[in-house]
Amino acid sequence: MSFKVAVVGATGNVGREIFDILAERAFPVSEVVALASSRSIGTEVSFGDRVLKVKALEHYDFSDTDICLMSAGGEVSKEWSPKIGAKGCVVIDNSSAWRMHPDVPLIVPEVNAAAAAGFTKLNIIANPNCSTAQLVVALKPLHDRFKVKRVVVSTYQSVSGAGKEAMDELFNQTRAIFTAGEVSTKKFPKRISFNLIPQIDAFMEDGFTKEEWKMMAETKKILDPKIKLTATCVRVPVFIGHSESVNIECEKPITADEAREVLRTAPGILVIDKHEPGGYITPHEAAGEDATYISRIREDNTVENGLAFWCVSDNLRKGAALNAVQIAEVLINRKLIQPRKQAA
């Protein structure tokens, strides 16, 4: 069986990553269509050894398309995902537009793949926030074994999470600093080069940012509504790869050795945890990789049943493109969808 797949937002960072991952994983496609706004018509994108020309989303007919991988932002998704779903095409959306909708499953395949079956009301499945995705992959096996009750997480998020313009801003600012040029700020509220910005997304009334709220709300929806989570999200001058310092409290006793053993056998996780200089993962090594990496596992004796660890993942892959493709694989492997052309 092979499926007709459309990628919306084909020219963006995540869209281009989706094409690479579809090819790498030999996803069963009969046809792949690259879609974006009308201003991108004719732009070329790579899919394996093929080159695809971008077509306009507003002129495309989804009636014979099986899966739409949507990476065009929240406003586009709010407008188009229901229309596409109504045509019988399943939308897997990377934006925040549908994540908390009660009729839309929020899926990380290593964590809650079975919940994907609930897509049928709107034909939409949501991808979580990039920082949430890697966190719940790490929390899931620990929660199953030790019952996580509270999480304190600080994130160190790369600029690629804010798009290509943000990556360009880091590059241009860094070059300007070395050449004694003018450092201009457009995408971020303060300079990002050689700096940290303790704000991602807009501030809410309680002082948390929307990014921090997303981590709290999405973890509850994906993993367990009883988990208490507080987050501080920080933008750092790294191009690709989100890092997280995670502290958890569990209901059951937990040791570092037990946690290490549980994490080593969990899907989607690689443990790199040597107590020596360089015996841990950094975002530089995680870029381009599929795994969620765990390092610095240690007991936190300031609380009962406490554990601390370091978590790193490529935000464009597991945080977005890879997770979306994995969701599509779940739909196929669990026989939740059939190719429409072959079924006709």
The catalytic residues are 130, 242
* CA pair distance 98, 223, nearest whole angstrom: 17
Q: Which residues are annotated as a binding site for phosphate?
A: 99
Per the DSSP assignment, residues forming a β-bridge with 36 are 56
- Give the Cα separation of 159 and 167 in Å (integer): 6
Tell me if residue 44 falls in helix, strand or coil: strand
Among 65, 1, 84, 11, smallest CA distance to 42 is for 11
Gap between the Cα atoms of 307 and 174, Å rounded = 37
Which residues fall in the annotated binding site? Answer: 11-14, 39-40, 99, 157, 160-161, 235, 315
**3-state DSSP call for residue 75?**
helix
In contact, 307 and 297? CB cutoff 8 Å: yes
- The binding site for substrate comprises 157, 235
Q: What DSSP assignment string belongs to 270-292?
A: EE---SSTT-S--HHHHTT--SE
